[in-house]
Chains A and B, each alone.
Chain A
Amino acid sequence: MSAAISIEQVVKTFGPTRALDGLDVEVATGEVHGFLGPNGAGKSVTIRVLLGMLRADSGTARLLGGDPWRDAVDLHRRLAYVPGDVNLWPNLSGGEIIDLLARLRGGVDKRKRNELVERLALDPRKKARTYSKGNRQKVALVAALSSNAELLLLDEPTSGLDPLMESVFQDCILEATGEGRTVFLSSHILAEVEKLCDRVTIIREGRAVQQGTLDELRYLTRTSVTVATERPLEGLDAIDGVHNVATEDSHVRFDVDGHALDAAIRHVSGFGIRSLVSQPPTLEELFLRHYGDELAVDGDGPAPGTESGELADPPEHGGHPDGAGP
C-alpha cells in the first residue's frame, strides 16, 4: 500500500522554538489517520508543512507522491483542507465562500454541496461576519467535503460543532472513506478519533511519540480488571506491568499493561476465577499515559517510582516482553 503522507525526520523551527523536532508520520492511502496531541504539540504546523505554507528546515515530507512545497499547486487539486481556526471574509455570505473555494479547487458538485448544507443545518445566506465559530467551521467543512479530493486534511474540524453536528461530521467522514479517500484528522477529541480512525499518531513537542493501529496502541495500554477469586489473591503486585492493585471486600481491582495481560490473567486464574470484568483501555487513557508525566507530578498513581520511569520511556509498539509467570 502506497503512502498518502510520509513525513520523515522533519524539523521546523521558529526562532528558538523547535515546533517540529524530527517528526515521523506515515499515512497509508485510504485510511483515516488520527493525529493526536495536546495544544502546541505541532499538529497545525505539520499540516501547514503538508500544505506547503511552511517550508521544513530539514527532513523530507511527501504528500500523494509529491513534494508539498514544490508541487503545492498540483497537490492542492487532489486535497481539501479544513483549518482549525476558520477565518472567513466578513462581508461574503457562507454560500459564496463555499462556492468560491470549491471553484478555486476546480468546480462545485452542486448536489453534494446542497446536501451537506442541509445536513449540517447551515444557513448559506448569512454574511460570514455573523457566523459563530461552529458555523464558520461548517462553511469550511462543506467546502472541503463537497469536493472530490482524494485526501482530506482536517485540523481539529469539529472543535466548534455541537454533538449533533459532530455525529453528522462523523457520518460524512465514514462516507468519504467508503469512497476510498484518505483522511488525516488532527484532533484532541479522543472519542472522535477512536470512532473514526484506523491508525493514530500521537505527537508531542514536535515528535511522534506513538504511531500504530488503535489495536496496537491499546495493546500498550492498561486494561482495568475487577476479579473475584476462590482463594485470596496474592502476589499480583510482583508481576511487572500490574498497577494499582486494590482489594475491596471479595473483589480485587487492578490495572494491567497490555504486554502483561497474559501473565496477570494466568496468575489470577491460579486462584480460581469466580468472576472477571475487564474494561478495554480508552484512547483517553492512552492519551493520558503519554502526557502522564505532567500528571504524575501531581501525584497520579500510587507507585510513582516505577511509573515515571515507564512514562518517560514508553515501550516500543509491538514489543512483547515475555510474560513472566508466577
Chain B
Amino acid sequence: MTTLVQPEVESSGASGVTGSRPASFTGLAQLVRLVLRRDRVRLVLWVGGIVGLVVATAASIVGLYDTPEDLERYARLVRGNAALIVQAGPGYGLDDPTTGAVVMNEMGIWTLVAAALMSVFMVVRHTRTEEETERAEMIRALPVGRHAQLAAAMIGVTIANVLVATGVGITLIAYDLPAAGSVAYSLSLVGVGSVFAGGAAVASQVASGSRAALALGGAAIAAAFVLRAIGDVNESVLTWLSPLGWGQGIRAYADERWWVLVLPALATVGLVTAAVALQARRDLGAGLLPERAGPSVAAPRFSTPGALAWRLQRGALFGWMTGIGLFAFFYGIVADQAESILEDNPEMEDFLAQLGEGSIIDAFLSTAVLILALTATGFTIASVLRLRSEELAGRVEPVLATPTPRWRWAVSHLAVAVAGTVALMLVIGGVTGLGLALASGDVSTFWPIMGASVAMVPAMLVLAGVALLLYGMSPRWALVAWGAFAYTLVIGLLGSVLDLPEWALDVSPFTHVPAMPAAGFAWTPMVALLAVAALLAAAGVAAFGRRDVS
C-alpha cells in the first residue's frame, strides 16, 4: 500500500496531480494511519471483546462436551429444532457432531454479527460522521484524493477484521479444533465483516447524517439475520441471499466449502464500487436526496426541552419500532413451528421439562422475547446517551443558557428513553403475539406474550439508569454503558454456555426477570429492578447537576 502511494505523493509535489494515474486516492497511506491512530482504543476494545468472547465460549464448550456421548446428546437436542436454528443457524456437522460443530452452533452466528457491527460502526465513523462534522472538508482541502478517505476507512476496517479473524482463528486452533475449519471460519469473519463494511460505505453515501447511515447499516445486518433464519428453517434459497448465511455456509468443521468465500468477496467489491460511484456523483457533505426546506416558524407546541428531545429522537424510535417489529413478527410465526419438533424429539421434551412447567412454544417465546428485549436495549442506551452526543456537539449550551434547569434537560431525554423502551416492548409483545396468532389461529397466547414483553422493561431501565449515571459523572465515561450492554448481551445469549459463577449472571438485570410465559410473573424482582433503575437515574441527574458542562 505504502509503495503504491508514496511515488504518487512525491510526483504530485513535483509536477502537480496530472499524472497518468487517477489521483483519487492520493494521500491514502497518511489517511489510513489517521484512521488507525484515531481508533487505536476502539480497535483494542472491539478485537479484544470479540476474541475474548470466543475464548470464553470455546473454553466452556470444550470443557462441557468432552466425550462423544456428550456431543451426541447436545446434537440430539439441537438437530432440526426450528427454535434453535432461528437463533444459531443450520447446525452443519451436527449429524455426526464434533466439538468444532458445537462451537460453531453456539457462537458462530453471534461472532459474525459482532464483526458486522464493528465494521458498520467503523466505516460510518470514518466517512459520513467525518463529513457531518466538517472535518472531511479540512482533509479534502489538502492534496487528498476524492475517494481516499473512503478507501482509508475500508482499509482500516479490513485491518480490524483481519485482527479479529486472526485472534479467533488462533483461539480455535489453540483449543485443538481442526486447523482447516478454524481458518475457514476466520476467513468467513473477514468476508462477512467486509460485506457489511461495503454496505456501510454505500449507506454513508446515501444518508446525509451519520445516525441515518448507522441505521441503514444496522437494518442491513438485521435483514441479513432474518433472511438466513427463514432460509435455515425452511432450507430454502433465502439463506444464500444473506451475507450472514454465507458466513455459516462455508461449513467450518463440517466438510468446508471454500468456494463460498467468493460470495462475500464479490459482494464487497460490488458494494465498494457502488459507494465510489455514488461518491463521485455527489457534493461533499450532501446525501443523495436534496435537503428539503423546513418551516420558517416552529409549531406552537415545540417549546419545551421534552418537545426537543422527542423531535431529536422520534426518527430513531420509529426506525427501531419498524425493525424490531419485523423481527418480532418473524419470531411469532416461527414459534408455531416449534411445537412440531416436540413430536420427534423426546430429548427436547425432557430438556424443557427441566426448565419448568411451560410448553415448548412458551420456552421458545421466552427466549425470543429475551433476545428481542436485549436488542431493544440498544435503543434504550443510545437514547440516554443522546445526552452525551448533544453535549459533545455543543448543542446543550444554547438550551442550558435559557432558564432550563439541568435536571429538566437530562430528564427530557430520559423520558424519551423510557417511553420509547415501553413502546418498543409493546410492539414486540403485540407483533410477536400477532404473528403467532396468524400462524396458529390461536389467540390465547397474545396476552401472555404481551406480559412477557412488558416484564422486560424494568431490566432495560436498569441499563438506562446505568447509562445516565455514567453520563452524569462524565460524558467520557458514558460510553462504558455500551460495555454494560455488551455484558448483558453475552450473559443473555451465552450465559448458559459460558459456565460462569452465579454472581456473574446475577449482575445482569435480565437474569432476574422471570422467563415468561414459560415461568410465572413475580412482583418482587420487577419492583426491585425499577427501584434500582430509579436510584441510578436519580444519582445520574444529581451528578450531572454538579459537574462542568463541556
The chain A residues found within 8 Å of chain B, CB to CB, are 48, 51-55, 72-74, 76-77, 79-81, 83, 85-93, 95-101, 103-106, 124-127, 129-130, 140, 143, 153
Contacts and interface: CB of A to CB of B under 8 A. Distances in A.
A125 B295 contact: yes
Chain B interface residue bracket vs A: 35 or more
Contact of B296 (A74, A91, A95, A106): A95
B295 A93 contact: yes
Contacts of A72: 400, 405-406
A95 B405 contact: no
B524 interface: no
A96 B402 contact: no
> Lowest 10 A-B CB distances belong to which pairs?
A93-B294, A99-B298, A103-B303, A87-B394, A104-B402, A81-B401, A95-B296, A96-B298, A124-B296, A125-B293
Nearest to A129: B291
B294 A100 contact: no
B11 interface: no
A252 to B, nearest CB: 49
Contacts of A140: 398
B398 A124 contact: no
Given A87-B395, A90-B209, A76 B295 contact: no
A73 B303 contact: no
Given A72-B406, A100-B307, 6 more contacts: A55-B548, A76-B400, A83-B394, A96-B302, A104-B304, A125-B293
B400 A89 contact: no
A88 B302 contact: no
Nearest to B290: A130
B293 A93 contact: yes
B548 A53 contact: yes
Interface in B361-406: 393-395, 397-406
Contacts of A98: 298
B209 to A, nearest CB: 6
Contacts of B298: 95-100, 103
A74 B132 contact: no
Nearest to B394: A87
B297 A124 contact: yes
B546 to A, nearest CB: 8
Contacts of B397: 48, 51, 53, 81, 83, 87
Looking at chain B's contact residues, is the secondary structure mostly helix, strand, loop, or mixed? loop
A81 B294 contact: no
Counting chain B CB atoms within 10 Å of each CB, which of A54, A100, A101 scores highest?
A: A100
Given A55-B548, A83-B394, A87-B394, A93 B296 contact: yes
A89 B294 contact: no
B417 to A, nearest CB: 18
Contact of B403 (A76, A89, A95): A76
A86 B398 CA distance: 8
Interface string B393-435: 1110111111111100000000000000000000000000000
B281 interface: no
Counting chain A CB atoms within 10 Å of each CB, which of B292, B295, B307 scores highest?
A: B295
Given A87-B393, A92-B311, A51 B293 contact: no
Given A92-B294, A99-B302, A100-B302, A73 B401 contact: no
A160 to B, nearest CB: 13
Nearest to B407: A73
Contacts of B399: 101, 104
A105 B402 contact: yes
Interface in B279-315: 291-299, 302-305, 307-308, 311-312, 315
B302 A95 contact: no
A53 B404 contact: no
Looking at chain A's contact residues, is the secondary structure mostly helix, strand, loop, or mixed? mixed
Nearest to A81: B401
A96 B294 contact: yes
B549 A53 contact: yes
A310 B536 CA distance: 58
Counting chain A CB atoms within 10 Å of each CB, which of B291, B295, B296, B397 scores highest?
A: B296
B105 interface: no
Contact of A125 (B208, B209, B296, B549): B296
A106 B209 CA distance: 31
Contact of B402 (A83, A95, A99, A101): A101
Contacts of B296: 93, 95, 124-125
Nearest to B303: A103
B293 A126 contact: yes
Contacts of B315: 91
Counting chain B CB atoms within 10 Å of each CB, which of A74, A89, A106 scores highest?
A: A89
Counting chain A CB atoms within 10 Å of each CB, which of B132, B294, B404 scores highest?
A: B294
Contact of A100 (B208, B303, B403, B406): B303
Contacts of B208: 129
A82 B295 CA distance: 23
Given A73-B405, A81-B398, A106-B403, A96 B295 contact: yes
A54 B549 contact: yes
A109 to B, nearest CB: 13
A51 B404 CA distance: 12
A95 B406 CA distance: 24
A147 to B, nearest CB: 9
B401 A91 contact: no
A101 B397 CA distance: 11
Contacts of B549: 48, 53-54
Nearest to B210: A90
Contacts of A80: 401
B312 A89 contact: yes
A95 B132 contact: no
Contacts of A96: 294-295, 297-299, 302
Given A87-B395, A125-B294, A51 B401 contact: yes
14 contacts: A54-B548, A76-B404, A77-B403, A83-B394, A83-B398, A85-B394, A87-B397, A88-B395, A91-B312, A93-B294, A98-B298, A104-B304, A124-B296, A130-B291
A76 B402 CA distance: 5
A103 B401 CA distance: 12
Contacts of B293: 93, 125-127
Nearest to B312: A89
Nearest to A74: B403
A105 B402 CA distance: 5
A101 B308 CA distance: 10
Contacts of B304: 103-104
Contacts of A55: 548
Contact of A73 (B294, B308, B393, B404): B404
Contacts of A105: 402-403
Interface string B307-332: 11001100100000000000000000
Given A53-B549, A101-B398, A95 B291 contact: no
Contacts of B395: 87-89
A90 B292 CA distance: 12
Interface in B332-383: none
Given A83-B398, A91-B209, A127 B403 contact: no
A53 B305 CA distance: 17
Contacts of B209: 90-91, 129
